Amino acid sequence: MSAPQTLYEKIWNAHVVEQRDDGTCLIFIDRHLVHEVTSPQAFEGLRVAGRRVRRPDLTLAVPDHNLPTTARLDANGNNIPIADPESAQQLEALERNAPEFGIAYIDATDVKQGIVHVVGPEQGFSLPGTTIVCGDSHTACHGGLGALAFGIGTSEVEHVLATQTLQLSRSKSMEVRVEGELAPGVSAKDVVLHITGVLGASGGTGHVIEYTGSVIRALSIEGRLTISNMAIEHGARAGLVAPDDVTYAYLKGRPMAPKGADWDTAVAYWRSLATDAGATYDKVVTINAADIAPSVTWGTSPEDVLPITGVVPDPSTFADPSKQAAAKKSLEYMGLTPGTPMTDISVENIFIGSCTNSRIEDLRAAAALLKDRKKADNVKWAIVVPGSGLVKQMAEAEGLDRIFIDAGFEWREPGCSACLGMNPDKVPAGERCASTSNRNFVGRQGPGARTHLVSPAMAAAAAVTGKLTDVRTLMD
Amino acid sequence: MQPISSVKGKAYPLGLKNVDTDIIIPAAWLKTISRSGLGKGAFQSLRSVPGNVFDDPAYTGAPILIAGDNFGCGSSREHAAWAMADLGISAVIAPSFSDIFSGNAFKNGLLAIVLPQEAIDRLMEVAKTDEIHIDLETQTVTTPFQDRFPFEIDPFRKHCLINGVDEIGLTLKSSDAISAYENKLSASQPWLSPNQA
């Protein structure tokens, strides 16, 4: 009998094409998602070397980062040109490269278009037990379905296009076990913010993390995708959640998921992937659900996490001198004074969207809070950017768009938007944003923008009061 | 990739921890479809502050950067490595790197050298006045003051860097093994090659 294995080891071992003496493995890649920002130089590299795409059938291209989230078609159904010439050029490059290399392409006006990490699971392109890569660090997201998914650079994008493999060394394994039951008002986003606060921004470096425990098991796929999405924010190469009945119910019937007899064979295979009893991880971290409150970031690293009931920390109280210096710089950038209660901080902007929190469940959570309420007067800009055209369609069928619009939000077209400010959606310098995205880096949402990361319900609560707010005070 | 076996010269004593990819190259610079010209946007937010190390004449043209823990965290943008190379940087020394950044650096012949914080503290001092020498062959960082810090590097990466290996070309030599794997896979998991819509 073979030694007990973790989920990560099983997926890794199933994808080894070759192993060299130094331990480096040639790993087969089952799924490759391509977007417009990190692919032009890779396609150019192929062209220069006269190389083709080895497996276009395992590759899916969709634009998301640059696309404006305003209307894409005019009243006559014609495409509205993109005003920014560089963005337009990058999108045209993908539009040209995909057919040239035989890759399926989802057009900006297709209802299936959206953020790559929303589209992959939604289409059933992302499947348990597969290896998934994309030139985007939040590819870890797909681990919520039990796929080994990670972000790669453009040279690796070119390598995968040309060979459908990557030369990789095995990562270490970590289990993050979250046990107990989440309190009302605490969502998957709060769980992953809390984990990032506990591990630190580099706590997972060199590791693939498997999230386990009763809290994870009880989450929907949307919630699991949110958690695995931010694995990279605590430095992990990838995040994983073992596939289970929740996963299979989510995937069944999706356009690119297995059908008929294949479905049954696939599910039987996926069931065999769970970590064996007795398998060990290189590191184990246990978190008690009772310790997780609705959470918010105060600084410029995702590790700068506090419960919403907390106060802005005093950098001199940090044990690590390098952290003291970093915190001081962060507070200067954020314009915050130590000791200020987090709930006293006013926000002028609200962003609900991103690959972390733009799925239907996220929009439902925000809308439930906003129903029959309006945004505060000091909130100048509040937008909802659904993760895909299909999410948008579903939300509209449920009337969520009306709730957002009546509350004073703008209801936008799908894309990455104000998460990284590549398209026109930016937070003005010196202003604050309660954002459901994943990074609060300096300048991330626009030069000088100050980001506070929160859950969708917390973003909605901040919109209503105009301040960072404990969502529990607005719940019935 | 150009072969690289050593880097010697001045070093920017940055020292910051969690230098993320938005600090290295902001998103506005990612709209390019080429690899070149990104040096102008490198470390834009840091360079907007007067007295920053990058614009200090003492370090002009330095080929080495010294940073704190978790350098290159955040995005997968290889533009970060391209921007640093365009700025003339050939090596970064830090206590730790994000996994994706260190992979991207490697693909571009940019050395990402891991040394403990004590060594970083010492090199930060030395960098103010003197040159630093990184030797990949012997895996050591040395200074003119008898400092000698050994570092670890993945043997495959070391081989590729020193020999300037075209990694795609190398992998393509394994085409038969990849084909054999694909055949096995299409028999055992036929659903993995969907008839795409």
pLDDT digits (tens, 9 = 90+) for A4-29: 999 999 999 999 999 999 899 999 99
- Total domains in the fold of chain A: 3
- Pairing state of beta strands A349-352 and A305-307? unpaired
| H or E stretch covering A462 | helix A456-465
For chain B, helix (H) and strand (E) counts, in that order, are 8, 8
A19 and A138 in one domain?
A: yes
Q: Is A458 a domain residue?
A: yes
CATH number at residue A334: 3.30.499.10
pLDDT value for B196: 40
Average pLDDT over residues A257-279: 97
**A72 and A40 fall within a common domain:** yes
Judge whether A261 lies within some domain.
Answer: no
pLDDT of A469 over the 80 cut: yes
**Of A140, A168, A196, which residue constitutes the final position of a domain?**
A168
**Any idea of the CA torsion for A168, A171, A177, A183, to the nearest 10 degrees?**
-50
CB-CB neighbours of A249 under 10 Å: 11
Report residue A94 CA to chain centroid gap.
22
* Phi/psi of residue A374, nearest 5 degrees: -130, 155
Residue A38 belongs to some domain of the structure: yes
| Cβ atoms of B61 and B10 closer than 8 Å | yes
Q: Do B33 and A90 touch (CB under 8 A)?
A: yes
Instruction: Note whether A153 contacts B23, CB cutoff 8 Å.
Output: no
Say how far apart CA A82 and CA A84 lie, in whole Å: 6
Here the tokens at position B155 are: 């043997």
Does one domain contain both A303 and A276?
A: no
Give the model confidence (pLDDT) of A425-455 as tens digits.
999 999 999 999 999 999 999 999 999 999 9
CA atoms within 13 A on the CB side of A338: 11
H-only helix segments in chain B: 21-24, 44-47, 79-86, 99-107, 117-127, 155-163, 167-172, 175-188
- A124 shares a domain with A209: no
**pLDDT value at residue B36:** 93
Together in a domain, A282 and A306 = no
pLDDT at A379: 98
Inside any domain, residue A212: yes
- Same domain membership, residue A301 and residue A433: yes
Query: Which domains does chain B carry?
Result: 6-165 (3.20.19.10)
SS3 B192: helix
Q: Which of residues 27-56 of A touch B (CB under 8 A)?
A: 28, 30, 37-38, 40-41, 44, 49, 51, 54-55
Q: What is the mean pLDDT of residues A185-208?
A: 97
Across the interface, whether the CB atoms of B78 and A155 are under 8 A apart is answered yes
Is A436 in the same domain as A303?
yes
Residue A248 lies in a domain: no
Instruction: Please tell me whether residues A320 and A451 are part of one structural domain.
Output: yes
Size of interface A-B (CB pairs under 8 A): 199
Q: Which residue in chain B has the smallest CA separation from A87?
A: B31
Residues A347, A395: one domain?
yes
Residue A312 burial (10 A CB sphere; 0-12, 13-18, 19+): buried
**What domain range includes position A229?**
172-239+269-291
Q: How far apart are CA A223 and CA A189, in angstroms?
A: 8
| Single-letter amino acid code for the residue at B1 | M
The residue with tokens 């230098």 is B19
B133 by DSSP, 3-state: which? strand
Q: What is the mean pLDDT of chain A?
A: 97
Do the domain assignments include residue A71? yes
- Chain A residue with CA closest to B95: the answer is A202
Residues of chain A neighbouring B30 (CB-CB closer than 8 A): 37, 65, 422
Q: Are A415 and A69 in contact (CB under 8 A)?
A: yes
Encode burial over A452-471: b for 16+ CB neighbours within 10 A, e otherwise: bbbbbbbbbbbbbbbbbbbb
Is A192 found in the same domain as A137?
A: no
CATH number (domain holding residue A217): 3.40.1060.10
Query: Quick one: tokens of A160?
Result: 């995968």
Q: Give the pLDDT confidence of A47-93 residue by residue, as tens digits.
A: 999 999 999 999 999 999 999 999 999 999 999 999 999 999 999 99
Question: Do residue B34 and residue A41 have CB atoms under 8 angstroms apart?
Answer: yes
- Domain membership of residue A245 (yes or no) is no
pLDDT in tens, A203-228: 999 999 999 999 999 999 999 999 99
What is the percentage of chain A residues whose pLDDT exceeds 90? 97
| Judgement on whether residues A143 and A78 belong to the same structural domain of the protein | yes
CB A241 within 8 A of CB A274: no
Tokens encoding A452: 């506070």
A202 within domain boundaries: yes
Spatial distance between the Cα atoms of A228 and A453, rounded to a whole number of angstroms: 16
**Domain co-membership, A370 together with A339:** yes
Residues of B in contact with A104 (CB under 8 A): 196-197
Q: A104 phi and psi, to 5 degrees?
A: -65, 135
User: Could you tell me if B23 and B43 are in contact, meaning their C-beta atoms sit under 8 angstroms apart?
Assistant: yes
The DSSP bridge partners found for residue A410 are A383
Average pLDDT over residues A256-281: 97
Q: Which residues of chain B have pLDDT under 50?
A: 196-197
Measure A462 CA to nearest chain B CA, in Å.
Answer: 26
Among partner residues A18, A150, A442, which is closest to B22 by beta-carbon distance? A442
Residue A476 has pLDDT above 90, yes or no: no
Taking only Cα atoms into account, the Rg of chain A, rounded to an integer number of angstroms, comes to 22
Taking an 8 Å cut-off on Cβ atoms, the answer to whether B171 and A159 are in contact is: yes
pLDDT at res. B197: 36
Q: How far is B78 from chain A (nearest CA, A)?
A: 5
A29 vs A65: CA distance, rounded Å = 23
Of A127, A153, A168, which one is at a domain's C-terminal end? A168
Contact A242, A275 (CB under 8 A): yes
The rounded distance, in Å, linking the Cα atoms of A11 and A173 is 13
Q: Which of the four pLDDT bands, split at 50, 70 and 90, describes residue A321?
A: confident
- Token pair for A72: 């894409």
CA separation for the pair A63, A116 (Å, rounded): 8
**pLDDT attached to residue A320:** 85
* B contact test, residue of A54, A127, A322, A330 with most B CBs within 10 A: A322
Give yes or no for B45 touching A (CB within 8 A).
Answer: yes
Question: Which of A143, A168, A193 lies at the terminal end of a domain, its last residue?
Answer: A168
Contact between B141 and B123 (Cβ < 8 Å): yes
Q: How far apart are CA A316 and CA A195, in angstroms?
A: 23
- Contact yes or no for A28/B181 (Cβ under 8 A): yes
Q: Nearest CA of chain A to the CA of B177: how many Å?
A: 7
What does chain B come to in residues? Answer: 197
Spatial distance between the Cα atoms of A156 and A150, rounded to a whole number of angstroms: 11
- ipTM of this model? 0.95
CA distance A471 to chain B (A): 28
